[in-house]
Amino acid sequence: MARHLVGARLQRLAATRPRLQALLWRVDSAALSLFWLIARALPRKAACRFGAALFGLFGPLTRKSGHVRRNLSIALPGRSPRDIAATTRAVWANLGAVLAEMPHLTELGPGQIEIVNGELAQALAEAGKPAVFVLPHLGNWEVAALAAAMTGAPVNIAYTPQANPYLDRLAQRWRNAAGGNWIGTRGGARAIARALSKGEIVGMLTDLRIDDGEPVPFFGREAMTTTVPARLALRFDAPLVPLRIERQPDWRYRVVLSSPIEPDRSLGSDAAIALDMTRRVNLLFEEWIAAAPGHWLCAKRRWPRRR
C-alpha cells in the first residue's frame, strides 16, 4: 500500500529509474513485513480485525481507490455516492483482513471452512481426472488451496507474481506454508498443462482484466477477460468448475463448488465454445459479487476507459 500513497509523478519517474524503483519496492515490502509481523503476533481473528481496521482507514486514501469506486459504480448501478463510498471502505477492509490472515492460514481447518459440494473434487481425485477451477477475488480467495487440500484432491494454483519481487517472495512464503503447488503465470503454461495431463486440479482467479484476453460481457459491459481456463478445459476434457469463497460471521468461510460449465458443442469451433463458457462464468461472478460487493477485490481497472 505504501507505493500507492506516493504521487503519480514519482511513480512514473521510478519506472525509468531502476534504483528509485528498487527503493520504492523495498519501502513497500518493509511496510508489509511490519504489518505481517504484527498480524502474526495476534490471534487469527484479532489479526483479521486489525487488518480490516487499518486498510479500511487508509485504503480509501490511495490512488487505487479511484479504480475501486469506478468498478463498483459499474457493478452496482443506481447506488448512491454514499453507498459506493461505504462499499469502497468495505473492499479495503476485506483486503486488509485477507492479508492479515495470511500468516494464520495454516490454522484454518474444517472448523473454520465449510465446503459445499466438495464431493465433486473428491470424485475427481479418486478417478484421477483433471479439472479447471475458476474463482473471483471474493471473500478470502487465499482459502481456496486449503479447501481443495481438505478434499484430498491434488491442487495447483496459477497466480500472477507481484511486480515487486520482494513482496512476491513474502506472500509466497505464507502461501507455500498453507499447501498447494503454486504456479506463476509468467512462463507457467507448461507446468499447468503438465498438471492437467497428470489428472490434477488447476485453480485460476479470472475476474481481473487481462489485456490480451477477449471482450466478454461483465455487468453489462464488454471487459477483457481470459478464456484460457475454458480452452484448457476443452483441451484436456476437464470440467470447468466455478467456485466462490463466502466470508461468514466470526471470520469463518464457506467454499461453494458450483456445477461444471458444460460446453455447448453446437457452437462449432473450440474458440466459440470457450468464449461462451467464459461468458457463463462471468454471469455467475456477477451474481456472487452483487451479493457481497464489499468482499470483492477490485482495485485494478476492470473495464476499458470511456472515450
- The string of pLDDT tens digits covering residues 236-247 is 999 999 999 999
As a whole number of angstroms, the distance between CA 25 and CA 164 comes to 6
Compute the average pLDDT of residues 257-268.
95
Confirm if 131 and 239 have CB atoms less than 8 A apart. yes
Region 3-19 average pLDDT: 61
What spatial distance separates the first Cα and last Cα of the chain, rounded to whole Å? 29
Across 29-45, average pLDDT: 96
For position 8, what pLDDT does the model report? 55
Q: Classify 75 in phi/psi space as left (phi over 0), alpha (psi -120 to 50) or beta.
A: alpha
Mean pLDDT of 267-272: 95
| Greater model confidence, 151 or 115 | 115
Residue 5 predicted with pLDDT over 60: no
Cβ–Cβ under 8 Å, residues 151 and 118? yes
User: What pLDDT does 7 receive?
Assistant: 52
- In order of 3, 14, 24, 58, 66, the CA distances from 9 in angstroms are 12, 9, 13, 20, 17
Question: Quick one: average pLDDT of 200-221?
Answer: 96
pLDDT value at 206 more than 70: yes
Q: What is the pLDDT of residues 84-94, one digit of tens each?
A: 999 999 999 99
C-beta neighbour count of 41 within 10 angstroms: 11
> In sequence order, what are the beta bridge partners of 132?
202, 240
Residue 183 reports pLDDT greater than 60: yes
180 φ/ψ sector (left φ>0, alpha ψ -120 to 50, else beta) = left
Looking at residue 180, its pLDDT comes to 82
On the question of pLDDT at 127 being above 80, the answer is yes
C-alpha cell at 301: 481497472
Q: What is the pLDDT of residue 23?
A: 85
Mean pLDDT along residues 193-197: 95
The whole-number average pLDDT for the span 132-148 is: 94
pLDDT in tens, 291-306: 999 999 999 999 988 7
Distance separating alpha carbons of residues 55 and 90, to the nearest angstrom: 9
Q: How many CB atoms lie within 10 A of CB 165?
A: 12
Average of per-residue pLDDT across 212-238 = 97
In this prediction, residue 16 carries a pLDDT of 67
Report the mean per-residue pLDDT for the chain: 92
Q: How far is CA 153 from CA 111, 148, 166, in A?
A: 19, 6, 31
Least confident of 27-31, 101-105, 151-155, 236-240: 151-155
**pLDDT at site 281:** 99
Report, as an integer, the average pLDDT of 241-266: 96
Q: What is the percent of the chain with per-residue pLDDT over 70, rounded to a whole number?
A: 94
**Dist. CA 1–CA 167, nearest whole Å:** 11
pLDDT of residue 19: 81
